[in-house]
Amino acid sequence: MISMFYTVVALACIAFCIGIEADVNVAEKPQEEINKSEQLFRKLFKQRRAEQLDAVKGLVALSSYEKQYKMVNVILDKVFSVIQNSRVLLESSGYAAGISSFPRDETVLDALANILENTALFADIMLHLPDISQKVLAANYEWQVLFQWSISFANQTQLLDKQTVKLLHLANMELNATERDPDYENPYRKKEEKYQFQHEQKISSKKRKKVKKRGPRLSVGEL
Ligand SMILES: *[C@@H]1O[C@H](CO)[C@@H](O)[C@H](O)[C@H]1NC(C)=O
Ligand SMILES: *[C@@H]1O[C@H](CO)[C@@H](O)[C@H](O)[C@H]1NC(C)=O
Ligand SMILES: *[C@@H]1O[C@H](CO)[C@@H](O)[C@H](O)[C@H]1NC(C)=O
């Protein structure tokens, strides 16, 4: 009889405890999951950035101005349409940068990732190839307008690492979308100019050598 009583009390106790635990789970688990999802989002963004930087380095190392110009045009065209489409999706979902909490919906998250990644890529290209980018943008005014929007939007999401926030600030000054700091200097411009300068020197000394060796005959391949 006594043991039966204790069994009933024990069962009630267990049920009660499980009930409490279930309540705690309902209250905390979603936030925990959202936090995990945000951490993963930030981690993936970093990985993508590393890949993008490699791609940009490859672009800077291209030996011909024409090739660089063509590539920048193709990439910015693609970046523009990705950002534009993702913006439509995000806005229709009601997501507001800096106000909405981290999105749970996968489609919204994809759109957000697309905007952040492509905006950072645009900033890289703007800063590493400023003269070409400026020419390409001058011919596509609506790209410039959208990139300015996406820089400001990405900055407001609070989802970027410090390095990327700094990068966007530099790109904004390079674009003249915001007043340049008095001591503003594009940290990548020098490299590009130095590279072009060295490259031009190399070509002209190569040409000189060839001219000396076998007269003014240059094959199509050498040009
Ligand atoms: C989730 O992250 C926020 C902000 O970083 C933090 O204040 C909160 O305690 C976290 N919640 C859980 C359940 O991890
Ligand atoms: C990003 O946001 C900060 C804080 O609101 C602001 O000071 C900064 O100018 C913004 N940067 C860009 C590139 O919009
Ligand atoms: C921004 O302004 C500077 C200084 O006036 C100018 O040299 C540069 O070409 C401008 N850049 C763009 C992208 O308009």
Q: Express each pLDDT in 101-156 by its tens digit.
A: 999 999 999 999 999 999 999 999 999 999 999 999 999 999 999 999 999 999 99
Q: Which ligand is nearest to the CA of 166?
A: 2
62-97 tens-digit pLDDT: 999 999 999 999 999 999 999 999 999 999 999 999
- Which residue's alpha carbon is nearest to atom 5 within ligand 1? 35
Site to probe by mutation for ligand 1, drawn from 24, 25, 31 as the one with most ligand atoms within 8 Å of Cβ, is: 31
Nearest atom within ligand 3 for CA of residue 133: 13
Say how far apart CA 64 and CA 104 lie, in whole Å: 45
Pull the structure tokens for residue 101: 């909490």
Return the structure tokens found at 222.
């050498």
Query: What pLDDT score was predicted for residue 16?
Result: 46
The two three-digit tokens of residue 143, written as one number: 């790209």
The fraction of the chain above a pLDDT of 90, given in percent, is 69
Distance of CA 139 to the CA centre of its chain: 23
Atom of ligand 1 nearest to the CA of 32: 13
Going by the DSSP 8-state scheme, the letter that residue 84 receives in this structure is H
Nearest bound ligand to the CA of residue 38: 1
H-run or E-run covering 141: helix 141-156
Instruction: Please report the sign of the dihedral spanned by the C-alpha atoms of residue 13, residue 18, residue 19, residue 25.
Output: positive
Distance 167 CA to ligand 1 centre (A): 27
Cα gap 86→153, rounded to integer Å: 12
Give nearest CA residue, ligand 2 atom 14: 152
Residue 172 Cβ < 6 Å to ligand 2: yes
Instruction: Inform me whether the pLDDT recorded for 20 exceeds 50.
Output: no
- The residue nearest atom 9 of ligand 3, judged by CA position, is 134
Among 133, 171, 135, 136, smallest CA distance to 152 is for 171
Report which bound ligand comes closest to the CA of 174.
3
Q: Are 218 and 210 in contact (CB under 8 A)?
A: yes
Contact by Cβ (8 Å): 41, 117: no
Residue type at 101 in one-letter notation: S
- Which pLDDT band, with edges at 50, 70 and 90, does 201 fall under? low
| Cα 175 to ligand 3 centre (Å) | 7
Cα dihedral: 67, 146, 157, 110 (round 10): -70
pTM attached to this predicted model = 0.76
